[in-house]
Structure 1
Amino acid sequence: MRKLINVFFVAAGLLFTANMANAQQKLGHINSEEVFASLPEAKTAQTTLEGLGKTKQAEIDGMIKEYQTQLAAAQAKEKTLSEANKEQVGKELQAAGQSLQDLEKRITDARTKASQDLSTKQGELFEPIRVKVGNAISSVSKEKGLAYVFDISNGQGGNNLVFWEGGDDITAAVKTKLGISATAAKPAAPKK
């Protein structure tokens, strides 16, 4: 019985010590949008992505223009339909209809492919940047002895932190770790 009581007190002591250590954990927050907005390589990646998007859209717009031209030609041909040329014009209209369907499928396929290409390119361009920023956040967090860091940027689907009182804002430290000027462009501050 005495051993059981000793085990109970040791367990209670460990639990009390763990709770005290838990209460001592430091919290921090970061605005990742501000960090990304300040990174030159993120700006370059965004410009590259926008250029690719414009190129893909121009290709699709060309196909849409071709579709509209063929549709207008088919509609004009339909107006010439009469009993005398019904068979000949009917065959031409049928061929034009098939051509329009094929072109419509090509446009849909091109849109799907463009979306996939943009998504793939975005991953290629931004993944190394995300890793670099993540490593900087981890490094600064360890240097400051933080147990938790919350992202307060709006781009994360709204603030991941509803309220904070104090805590360490490590945004500037992460920017410094990444070699970014502390006075670089700041997005609007989140509302508390």
Structure 2
Amino acid sequence: MKNLKTLLLIAVFTLGIGGVANAQKMGHIDFEKLVAEMPQTKALKLSIEKLGKTYQDEIEGMGKKLDAKMKKYTAEQNTQTKDTNEKRALEVQQDRAKYEQARQVAYQEMQKKQSDDLGPIIEKAQIAIEGVAASKGILYVLDASVGKGLLVKKGEDLFNDVKAKLGF
């Protein structure tokens, strides 16, 4: 019976030490902030802004042409035949549909570019985090940016180490 109590005490003590050791192998990083500060993300943002400006100029040009056509047709409607006015109304309707379609396509292409180009950036950040965690013997890395819900940050903050590994 005495030996059983001693073994039980040793087992509890060993498990307690193991739990403390595992607790020390945690880290955290603000993943959103890391990705936002990466040079590739900043370059992507500039690229998307440039693409957006190009699309905006094209779409605004289409809009100005449509407005000019509508003003012209409105001013001339009393001097035109009913058949001509109907054709013009259909033409304006088709031009308006092309204008709306161009806006949607531009938005979708910008979203696709951002999604496609952001994937490799995120992957690079994850690989760097895994490398830093492995070099420091950290088993768990929590994302401190998820809803800013990390209330206690007793693990190691890996942000600066990962930035250094990524070279910025």
Category of TM-score, reference length = shorter chain: 0.7 to 0.9
Shift of 1:20: 6.5
Q: Which amino acid aligns with 1:97?
A: A
TM-score using structure 2 length? 0.79
Q: What's 1:123 paired with?
A: 115
Counterparts of 1:81-92 in structure 2 under 5 Å?
Answer: 88-92=80-84
> Where do 4+ consecutive residues of structure 1 move more than 4 Å?
19-23
Post-superposition Cα deviations, 1:145-176, rounded to whole Å, max 9, x if no partner, equal 223222223xx5x32x2411422110001001
Is 1:151 the equivalent of 2:150? no
Is 1:179 the equivalent of 2:167? yes
Paired with 1:113 and 1:47, the residues of 2 have a C-alpha distance of 20
* Greater relative contact order, per chain length (Cα 8 Å cut-off, separation 6+): 2
Paired with 1:20 and 1:100, the residues of 2 have a C-alpha distance of 78
Post-superposition Cα deviations, 1:127-150, rounded to whole Å, max 9, x if no partner, equal 221111110011112222223222
Q: Which runs of 5+ in 2 are unaligned?
A: 1-10
Paired with 1:162 and 1:170, the residues of 2 have a C-alpha distance of 14
Q: What's 1:163 paired with?
A: 151
Paired with 2:49 and 2:17, the residues of 1 have a C-alpha distance of 51
Counterparts of 1:26-37 in structure 2 under 5 Å?
Answer: 26-37=25-36
Number of residue equivalences? 154
Paired with 2:86 and 2:94, the residues of 1 have a C-alpha distance of 12
Equivalent of 1:106 in 94, 98, 110 = 98
Paired with 1:170 and 1:65, the residues of 2 have a C-alpha distance of 52
Paired with 1:123 and 1:42, the residues of 2 have a C-alpha distance of 12
> Which range is displaced more, 93-102 or 122-131?
122-131
Identity between Structure 1 and Structure 2 (%): 31
Counterparts of 1:70-89 in structure 2 under 5 Å?
Answer: 70-78=69-77, 80=78, 88-89=80-81
- The structure with the greater share of residues assigned to helix is 2
Shift of 1:21: 4.3
Structure 2 vs 1, CA of residues 149 and 123 (structure 1 numbering), >3 Å: closer, same or farther? same
Q: What's 1:187 paired with?
A: none
SS of 1:163's equivalent in the other structure is coil
Structure 2 vs 1, CA of residues 115 and 22 (structure 1 numbering), >3 Å: closer, same or farther? farther
Preserved contact between residue 133 and residue 139 of structure 2 (Cα < 8 Å):
yes
Q: Which amino acid aligns with 1:148?
A: Y
Post-superposition Cα deviations, 1:100-130, rounded to whole Å, max 9, x if no partner, equal 1111111121112112211221133222211
